Amino acid sequence: MTERVAHFFDTKIEFLKGVGPQRAATLNKELKIFTFGDLIQYYPFRHEDRTKFHRIAELNENMTAAQLKGRIRGMTVVGEGHKRRLTVEFTDGTGVTEFVYFQSIDWYLKHLRDGGEYIAYGKPQRFGQRFNFSHPDLETLNPDNERGGYFQPIYNLTETLRKKYLDSRFLGKTMRILLEQAYPHIRETLPSSLVQRFRLMPKADAMWHIHIPDNEEALKQATRRLKFEELFYNQLRLLKNKVLQKRETPGQVFGSVELVRAFYQSHLPFGLTNAQKRVLREIHDDMKIGKQMNRLLQGDVGSGKTIVAFIAMLMAIGNGAQACIMAPTEILADQHYRGLKPFCDALGIQISLLTGSTTRKGRKIVIPGFADGTIHIAVGTHALLEDTVQFKNLGLCVIDEQHRFGVAQRAKMWAKNETIPPHILVMTATPIPRTLAMTLYGDLDLSIIDELPAGRKPIVTEHYFESKRLLVFGKIKEQIKLGRQVYVVYPLIEESEKMDYNNLMDGFESITRAFPEYHVSMVHGQMYPYEKDFEMQRFVKGETQIMVATTVIEVGVNVPNASVMLIESAERFGLSQLHQLRGRVGRGADQSYCYLLTGVKLSKETRIRLDTLCETNNGFDIADVDLKLRGPGDLAGTQQSGLMDLLLADLAKDGAVLKAAREAADAILQEDPDLVQPQNEPIRSHIDALRKEETNWSKIS
């Protein structure tokens, strides 16, 4: 891109006709719009169809909006103080309607002319025999607008902007002035082969029609073009990083599988599923080629990710390296340690635990053991990231529950081996829809365990209203009589820790009253780790039959005998969180149950969440529904990979566009990894023109 073109989009918006320093300062502060480039990419979120006029005689209650052409025939101010309102009578010859204004009354009185001709746009509402409009948009009728025929872009605004009359109409007019100047400066950013193959609108036309479309089809094509480009550059950046990493980051070669074979033949207590075997082949293929592995292992709750991770660690240890597994909580780290230790003891492998609770005496044993290589597997929490923790030869790092650890922490684990960075295996039990996985973790290779171990029965999930509490308690008692154990989970009420605590305490008391013949444990976030552990262990050993808890049990606790979960106030939980919680039961061979208890007043969205949970146990189906309900921001739980930079694309709706964009980007990089071929010049010059720190490669520079 030439200096002149880049310079045009860097121009400060105060130099645009009709803006000036004062309005520019407001736009800077309220919308973070500083330059022509920022403004032209402040896209409208919808358009109002102003192409045709309606008649007052045609108005009906089903209209979402109507545009009228007529004249004012009287204005009246009614009421005092905050009850003051302005009523404007308006006619077009076919009937009479009223416009009512509750705000900016003095401004309207000053600017509106009785007998003047205007165009009005708004939503008609029936009021007695007539229709009226609350705060309709009014503009003076003139030769330019009397024929109608345009789409009004509607932009996200703040209250401050509205008070200063910097509304959608102002932005639309300003945008037209900018587009007329900018049009010759907008360069094509995609190779002509892609534009032709996907029948994409040219970039300059798309930028025009996204703001001021000639018709619905032009708006549709402009949106399609810009979404494709946005996702194309998002994927290109991730894939380019991946190609670069594969090409330039060496990895240790783990060719020998003797230790894995010994484990398979003598110590593996159950057969692996086909999905587990497939994933292990993918991992071994990565670890024997001399390039660093960066793989995401997705598997639903209870699908057997941990044993896959352990076998991957055996590949490292069998080739003279060490391995570590890092978990987000002490409870989960401790569970990994206890679960893997019997296997390690049988194979003569040293495994040690390091968490924030490890004593100074314990640290003096394990930290030198990591450093001299006598400890083969380190299990721990964030404590493993400390500078004092060094390894003799770390070959594989397994990170559990990825969304709790950022990219920076992954990079810190790389540095634990100064010679060759360790292979990285990221595990998550939060099923991520494919579209989100491609965008969030597009720089990682993806492995999915999509079948549960043999003999696992799907969890039966039922929703009951509060009035059926005694019925639910009866079902729970039947299960306890059969020797099963029960979780009762209470939600966190974000506003107040004290309220959370009281909520849980009330729950604990009501459960002990309802089940006087049984022992009850309690776990919550304000307990010390050793207190939590003590209560957990009582439950694990079967000394207590019921565990009352907050969501601290969401991740990883494994009690095969616990086959019932009651979730109180289930309407307060997100869908993915409910699915995670439910996954704490169903770990043994017995039929498991999950009961969702709610109040009667439920929103439409909440009903969809609860129905989805009752209908399916498939985490990926649940994640897709969750993505549609909540959008990607909440699901990601991270600020990675420029995901939130997307200005137009919607991952819940644009999966097909994302797939096409990724395949196109992948094909180009396969053929031309450094983007040096002449046909890829538009891509290269576009990326070069962007500031180096820019994460969104689809932006106008």
pLDDT digits (tens, 9 = 90+) for 602-638: 999 999 999 999 998 888 788 888 877 776 554 444 3
Task: For the chain, give every domain's residue range.
Answer: 52-148, 460-616
CB 398 within 8 A of CB 326: yes
Q: pLDDT band for position 242 (50/70/90)? A: confident
Other CB atoms within a 10 A radius of the CB of residue 413 amount to 20
State pLDDT tens for residues 72-117: 999 999 988 888 999 999 999 999 999 999 988 888 998 899 999 9
Give the C-alpha separation, 213 to 189, whole Å.
Answer: 21
- The pair phi, psi for residue 101, each rounded to 5°, is -125, 125
Tell me the residue ranges of DSSP E strands in 195-314.
Answer: 294-299
Which class does domain 52-148 fall in? mainly beta
At 634 the pLDDT is 47
Tell me the residue ranges of DSSP E strands in 300-364.
Answer: 322-326, 351-354
Give the C-alpha separation, 701 to 8, whole Å.
Answer: 9
| Angle in degrees, CA 223, 648, 443, rounded to 5 | 120
Is residue 499 scored above 70 in pLDDT? no
Q: pLDDT band for position 3 (50/70/90)? A: very low
Q: Which long-range contacts (CB under 8 A, 24 or more apart) does 567-570 make?
A: 567/489, 567/594, 567/595, 567/596, 567/597, 568/488, 568/489, 568/490, 568/491, 568/507, 568/597, 569/490, 569/491, 569/597, 569/598, 569/599, 570/463, 570/596, 570/597, 570/598, 570/610
Give the C-alpha separation, 503 to 550, whole Å.
Answer: 10
Mean pLDDT score across all residues of the chain: 86
State pLDDT tens for residues 14-61: 999 999 999 999 999 999 999 999 999 999 999 988 888 999 999 998
Alpha helices in 380-496 (DSSP H): 407-414, 434-440, 469-481
pTM comes to 0.68
Least confident of 267-271, 335-339, 385-389, 429-433: 429-433
Q: What is the dihedral of CA 663, 664, 669, 671, to 10 degrees?
A: 100
The CATH architecture annotation of domain 460-616 reads: 3-Layer(aba) Sandwich (3.40)
Give the C-alpha separation, 640 to 560, whole Å.
Answer: 35
Residues 6+ apart with CB under 8 A from 363: 354
Give the C-alpha separation, 35 to 169, whole Å.
Answer: 20
Locus of tokens 């083969």:
376
